[in-house]
């Protein structure tokens, strides 16, 4: 409904622009649909069973100021479950990996550039039971597990250190 702009206070929220909504949904949901659709069609056409592993986000449960992104990622999770029903008959398993916050270059750059963001992330990290952000290789391990596990389908693997369950300002 609302989108917070960089530098705005909580009282200065503006309506979430439709163009931004459409761009985000197109990238984060429609893109997943198009790639998965083509992969499934190729597997069916060549009668090759396999796995599709979608990427969702820990934010699929909702996050303040992230209406389009969270809705798109929740859509990825619904698409994952639906495709597992539709494609299982062809031997195609469909699952998703939903990363939490990753300790990578993008996070380090943003927190070093914006002290307010660094404070926010530091406070947020206190709600993660493991007390740290994830590492990129941990996500890669989860994707490999999802791709290789012969009885995993329709599931979303959350790689988030145990939380937090939702993201607040």
* pLDDT tens by residue, 104-131: 999 999 999 999 989 988 888 888 899 8
pLDDT for the residue numbered 49: 97
pLDDT for the residue numbered 64: 79
Q: What single DSSP character describes residue 134?
A: B
pLDDT for the residue numbered 121: 87
- Give SS3 for 26: helix
pLDDT for the residue numbered 166: 57
pLDDT for the residue numbered 127: 87
pLDDT for the residue numbered 62: 82
| pTM reported for the whole predicted model | 0.86
CA 30-33-38 angle, to 5 degrees, is: 130
For residue 53, CA distances in Å to 24, 70, 135, 155 come to 20, 18, 19, 10
Q: Which residues are catalytic?
A: 69
Sites in the chain below the pLDDT cut of 70 = 1-13, 164-169
């Amino acid at each position: 409904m609302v989108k917070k702009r960089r530098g705005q206070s909580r009282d200065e929220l503006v309506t979430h622009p439709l163009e931004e909504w459409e761009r985000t949904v197109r990238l984060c949901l429609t893109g997943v649909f198009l790639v998965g659709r083509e992969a499934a069609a190729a597997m069916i056409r060549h009668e090759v069973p396999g796995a599709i592993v979608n990427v969702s986000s820990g934010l699929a449960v909702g996050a303040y100021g992230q209406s389009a992104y969270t809705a798109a990622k929740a859509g990825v999770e619904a698409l994952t479950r639906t495709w597992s029903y539709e494609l299982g008959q062809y031997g195609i398993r469909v699952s998703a990996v939903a990363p939490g916050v990753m300790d990578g270059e993008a996070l380090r750059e943003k927190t070093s550039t914006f002290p307010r963001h660094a404070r926010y992330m530091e406070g947020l990290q206190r709600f993660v039971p493991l007390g740290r952000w994830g590492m990129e290789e941990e996500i890669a391990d989860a994707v490999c597990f999802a791709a290789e596990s012969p009885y995993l389908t329709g599931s979303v693997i959350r790689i988030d250190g145990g939380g937090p369950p939702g993201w607040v300002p």
